[in-house]
């Protein structure tokens, strides 16, 4: 209890101390106050005595209460609240929010699980093949699930973690047999795919937005993908092989994993209507992100269209959308404040 209380007070104390040290030359007092609140927020995020979203939202509320705005002078109350809430009107905010819902669609329709099992079914007869199956699964899911923890932890981990026990491998029992290798491949693959696509990780669109405000030409989804493609392809192909050399599994081959994946697929049955619809909407989103700009359709507009269609097709329900804590945590706290912090 004492530790939590100190963690809550520490950001306020340090921000206040910084402010009373005096405004550096070249900054006006309002800009210095703004900077001190920002530092306090960062410290709060490191200590995290309360959920990170609440910390960021508290910093925003404090800025509004102290009438900090986009200009260097003290703003009116109307301008301060308009500045504070301006992030909700930003197109990047909505792109990231909808990408979380797309990820939910993969999970609810079981399409993500089927993709991973199919790759394991056909590539899983050797440890190296399993490594490539994991990497390719990440590659297929990454463009549409902007949370590496949700993608790897929510969809792939339950599948990957089921494989080592089939081979008699566990964290405390023969991890070198195959388990350690598979986990290393999964970890490294998600790091690569998170950088490969604009919508593979929530901070990516934010980084793009900041770069645009600093004078860099706006980067489209397809431009981002093309820029990273040469490096990304090489890394995805090398990771399973490098991990095989540095974390070499003692197991050389087995048909058990492939047979297990086959049984899992049989228990799922044929492609369901939801899976087919989800796959179709995924392709629609991809086409919109690639070709939307010449047609005058923004990537965020494409994402919103697909989200609405997902709801009408009953892939996800409206209740699923409003109960998605990860999406709303990003929307309300993190992304919604970014216009203010980088104004």
pLDDT digits (tens, 9 = 90+) for 256-287: 888 888 899 999 999 999 999 999 998 898 88
**Looking at the predicted structure, is the pLDDT value of residue 118 above 70?**
yes
Q: Which of 96, 163, 99, 106 is nearest to 140 (CA)?
A: 106
**Looking at the predicted structure, is the pLDDT value of residue 291 above 60?**
yes
State the Cα–Cα distance between residues 114 and 275, nearest whole angstrom: 9
Q: Which of 67, 14, 22 is nearest to 38 (CA)?
A: 14
Q: What is the structure's pLDDT at 86?
A: 75
Q: What is the structure's pLDDT at 6?
A: 87
pLDDT band of residue 230 (cuts 50, 70, 90) is very high
- Dig out the tokens for 144 from the structure: 């549409």
- Dig out the tokens for 170 from the structure: 């566990």
Structure letter (DSSP) for residue 330: I
Q: What is the structure's pLDDT at 136?
A: 92
pLDDT in tens, 151-209: 887 788 888 888 888 778 888 888 888 889 999 999 999 999 999 998 888 788 878 87
Q: What is the structure's pLDDT at 74?
A: 65
**b/e for 80-117, b at 16 or more Cβ within 10 A?**
beebbebbeebebbbbbbbbbbbbbbbbbbbbbbbbbb
pLDDT in tens, 140-155: 888 887 777 778 877 8
Torsion (CA) 241, 243, 247, 248 in degrees, nearest 10: -20
- β-bridge partners, 170: 173
**Bigger pLDDT: 337 vs 97:** 97
**Mean residue pLDDT across the chain:** 85
Q: What is the structure's pLDDT at 106?
A: 86
User: Structural domain boundaries of the chain?
Assistant: 2-87, 91-330
* Mean per-residue pLDDT, 16-27: 88
Phi-psi region of 104 (alpha: psi -120 to 50; beta: other; left: phi over 0): alpha
Residue whose pair of structure tokens reads 């998605």 in the numeric block: 324
Residues with Cβ < 8 Å from 340, sequence gap 6 or more? 60, 63, 70, 83, 84, 86, 87
* Mean per-residue pLDDT, 208-214: 81
**Bigger pLDDT: 290 vs 10:** 10
Answer yes or no: are the C-beta atoms of 164 and 179 closer than 8 Å.
Answer: yes
Q: What is the structure's pLDDT at 242?
A: 93
pLDDT band of residue 35 (cuts 50, 70, 90) is confident
Q: What is the structure's pLDDT at 241?
A: 94
Residues with Cβ < 8 Å from 7, sequence gap 6 or more? 47, 48, 49
pLDDT in tens, 302-324: 889 999 999 999 999 999 998 88
Strands (E), 243-322: none
């Amino acid at each position: 209890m004492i530790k939590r209380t100190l963690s809550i007070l520490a950001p306020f104390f340090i921000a206040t101390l910084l402010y009373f040290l005096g405004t550096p030359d070249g900054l006006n007092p309002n800009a210095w106050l703004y900077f001190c609140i920002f530092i306090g927020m960062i410290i709060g995020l490191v200590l995290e005595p309360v959920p990170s979203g609440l910390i960021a939202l508290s910093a925003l509320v404090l800025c509004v209460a102290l009438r900090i705005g986009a200009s260097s002078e003290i703003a009116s109350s109307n301008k301060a609240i308009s500045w504070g809430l301006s992030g909700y009107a930003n197109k990047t905010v909505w792109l990231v929010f909808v990408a979380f819902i797309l990820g939910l669609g993969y999970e609810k329709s079981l399409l993500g699980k089927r993709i991973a099992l199919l790759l394991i079914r056909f590539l899983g007869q050797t440890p190296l093949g399993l490594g490539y199956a994991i990497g390719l699964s990440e590659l297929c899911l990454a463009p549409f699930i902007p949370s590496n923890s949700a993608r790897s932890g929510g969809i792939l981990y339950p599948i990957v973690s089921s494989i080592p026990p089939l081979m008699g491998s566990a964290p405390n029992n023969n991890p070198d047999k195959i388990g350690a290798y598979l986990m290393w491949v999964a970890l490294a693959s998600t790091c690569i795919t998170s950088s490969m696509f604009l919508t593979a990780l929530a901070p990516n669109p934010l980084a793009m937005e900041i770069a645009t405000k600093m004078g860099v030409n706006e980067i489209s989804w397809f431009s981002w993908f093309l820029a990273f493609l040469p490096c990304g392809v090489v890394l995805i192909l090398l990771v399973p092989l490098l991990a095989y050399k540095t974390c070499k599994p003692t197991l050389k081959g087995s048909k058990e994993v492939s047979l297990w994946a086959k049984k899992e697929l049989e228990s799922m049955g044929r492609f369901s209507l939801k899976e087919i619809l989800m796959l179709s909407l995924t392709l629609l989103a991809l086409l919109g992100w690639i070709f939307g700009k010449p047609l005058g359709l923004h990537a965020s507009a494409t994402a919103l269209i697909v989200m609405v269609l997902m709801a009408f097709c009953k892939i996800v329900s409206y209740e699923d959308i409003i109960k998605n804590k990860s999406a709303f945590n990003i929307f309300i706290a993190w992304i919604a404040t970014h216009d203010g912090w980088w104004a």
